[in-house]
Structure 1
Amino acid sequence: MKPIARSDAPGPFAGAPVRIGALAPLTRPGWIDAGRHLLAGLQLAASDVNATGGIAGRPLELVVRDTRGDPQHAAAAVEEFAGLGVAALAGEYHSVVARAAAARADALGVPFLCASAVLDTLTDRPTDRVARLAPPQSRSWPIYADVLLRAGHRRIAVATEPSAYWNAGAHILREHLAPRGGQVIELDARALGPAAVGDAVVDHGATALLLLVGFPEPAVSIVNAVRRDRRLARVLLGAPAGQPEFATWAGSLGDQGAAVPFLRYLPARLSPLGARVEAVLRERLAEAPSFVAFEGYDTLLVLADALRTHGTDRAGLAGAWPHIDVEGTRGRIRFARVPGVDVWQWATAPIQVVDRDPARPDRFRVLHPDGKA
């Protein structure tokens, strides 16, 4: 595979570049919007690192590979990066893709800081080589479920497609809601067309329908079918995985895409660094940066700190995670061991539940402002 992009360092440097392998979904069937925002954050951080002297006088070089949202492509990219001698890996958005990348990185001894994927089981065994910024699904999805409960929703339908990520999400919802009087009704989105999904919601008496499906399809078709069905006028649509975060959601659905709560990983207020980064990314992207762009920036920021303090040797870098203490765009970043998660984890990553304001679909309403359920 040929490089998609690289961050060249301005100005004179004393040594050879320190290379970071970056993984992002930049073509379909990957989620291109997420990949574009992730890469923008990674590249801006690489430029900022080089503007402040690089890594011990050496430039930081970002070498990017397109995962296409495909686990096999990601695993092949990790193999290539290992051969290229990169110091570490960064990025990825899709959970099942990040899992494949993490497995190969661990096997090959290459440190990997995962930016955005939330699947708890990124690896099958405890490892020091992999760390993650995004909160695990077992922490964020129960917060989402509690927002539904507080809004009075007890019978919740979920339209699902086969995927380890969607399956894990449905399981977390079911296990969290059942002891609190809630019920999860699973609907197979592959077997049921959009109209039939609506019929099933009516038949089961559900008051909320969560979209655990791909975007744009079948998510867009299901939203349109539900919004047109008068029987479902009071049914809440939800998308916990964050599809409404991106401009293409609003572009595809317009006003119909408002009032669909989703998870995003931003604090109530960005740090001063975050405010500066937000302004630059807004100009570069020609739209408001998503939480994924901030995850990308913070990923490179953390790796740069680890490289400066622990050197560029892969084994030494893999031991850096418990010593990281970095002020990122979204708060102080420190890593810990979290029960049920076999990688080093930013345990206090911010969590919000938001939706697009029906009065102004280009703006977001914060329904749950922090990570406390």
Structure 2
Amino acid sequence: MRIGALVPLTRPGWVQAGRHLLAGLELAVREVNDSGGIAGRPLELVVRDTAADPQKAAAAVDELASLGVAALAGEYHSVVARAAAARADALGLPFLCSSAVLDALTEQPTEWVARLAPAQSHGWRIYADFLLSAGHSRIAVATQSSVYWASGARILRDHLAPRGGTVIELDMGALDPTAVCDELVGSRATALLLLVGIPEPAVSIVKAVRRDQRLAEILIGAPAGQPEFAEWATLLGDDGAAIPFLRYLPEHLSPLGARVEKTLYERLTETPSFVAFEGYDTITVLADVLRSDGVDRASTAASWSRVAVEGTRGQIRFSRTPDISVRQWAWPPVQVVDRDPAAPDRFRILHAG
């Protein structure tokens, strides 16, 4: 019984995120097979590298559909997941999206696609509330050209404006990190959000701001989660601490979550990110659906609304959510956390929503 897995495993994809996502997917598949598989049949993961390329992802969906997979799983990058979701919808292939958050995964409502990650509008509004509660109402955003970053900037602006907040956009297509510092001084912003890729230009921006004495009091934030992975601490060291970001984990893991965390740590040789848990939960849901409804694709798509599965981060159910075109888990736990300046390998929970 085959499940197709879409994962960014090479650049320009976020390789460490892909590695964590795949670790979670593979661990759950192994556990399903250790417990007897699906109706006595082993589950097989057929992995395709998307490399953050929407066209490559769409072609992979076509290939996986032709191979007879029962469903698709995975993907981290939102613009890539959107291309995969559109193709899956057109082919009538169930797709459980693990990690991508862009609200509009498909142009029109569909029954073929469901999602575990919270929608961008949900998480980023929580982040905006955190900023306001911390006394930041004049926010600069360093942003690159992308549907995802543009959507994030719009969510922040729409949420902050009625509450007295202001969003000032800094176009990284026209500015270098030194110019960003000058713009920040002139704008009187008290916070700078990184709506940019990793490692560059995010790393260079952080280094420039940290070394500019005029900006000693400014908060640097990264709602998209760039500081979640060990790569961030390796590249930035102490400069990468105290940069709040969104993470989709509860304050305390359930016994299942704690067991999975321990096993993932052994496989990854580093603390598993929330993305690894999303991968594990994806297979947990699909295995439950396949046990109940078999490999018929239409039956799988029709079963999203009946799912009630205990995942690593709580009970997973899918529903129709306003302005979201796919079946959505509403909602996974959301935290705003940062790396502790006293110990950058340790995370501090700053806000929860």
Name the TM-score class by shorter chain: over 0.9
Structure 1: distance between partners of 2:254 and 2:282: 15
Instruction: Please state if 1:295 is matched with 2:252.
Output: no
1:48 alignment partner, one of 31, 39, 58: 31
In structure 2, the residue matched to 1:247 is 230
In structure 1, the residue matched to 2:96 is 113
Count, aligned residues: 353
Structure 1: distance between partners of 2:116 and 2:90: 21
Structure 2: distance between partners of 1:128 and 1:45: 24
CA-CA distance at 1:53 after TM superposition: 1.1
CA root-mean-square deviation: 0.5
Percent identity among equivalent residues?
Answer: 74
CA-CA distance at 1:347 after TM superposition: 0.4
Structure 1: distance between partners of 2:254 and 2:6: 26
User: Could you tell me the TM-score, scaled by structure 2's length?
Assistant: 1.00
In structure 2, the residue matched to 1:171 is 154
In structure 1, the residue matched to 2:182 is 199
In structure 2, the residue matched to 1:31 is 14
Q: Extract unaligned runs of 5+ from structure 1.
A: 1-17
Structure 2: distance between partners of 1:189 and 1:362: 29
2:212 alignment partner, one of 226, 229, 252: 229
Structure 2: distance between partners of 1:231 and 1:190: 23
Structure 1: distance between partners of 2:121 and 2:348: 24
1:183 alignment partner, one of 166, 183, 189: 166
Letter of the structure 2 residue corresponding to residue 278 of structure 1: E
Instruction: Extract structure 1 runs of 4+ deviating beyond 4 A.
Output: none
In structure 2, the residue matched to 1:71 is 54
SS of corresponding position for 1:274:
helix
Q: Deviations over 1:314-333 (max 9, x none)?
A: 01111010000000000000
Q: Extract unaligned runs of 5+ from structure 2.
A: none
SS of corresponding position for 2:194:
strand
Q: Deviations over 1:288-327 (max 9, x none)?
A: 0000000000000000000001111001111010000000
Structure 1: distance between partners of 2:228 and 2:69: 32
User: Could you tell me the TM-score, scaled by structure 1's length?
Assistant: 0.94
Instruction: Please state if 1:214 is matched with 2:170.
Output: no
In structure 1, the residue matched to 2:82 is 99
Structure 2: distance between partners of 1:198 and 1:79: 46
In structure 2, the residue matched to 1:8 is none
CA-CA distance at 1:269 after TM superposition: 1.1
CA-CA distance at 1:348 after TM superposition: 1.9
In structure 2, the residue matched to 1:304 is 287
Q: Within 5 Å, which residues of 2 pair with 1:72-91?
A: 72-91=55-74
SS of corresponding position for 1:210:
strand
In structure 2, the residue matched to 1:15 is none
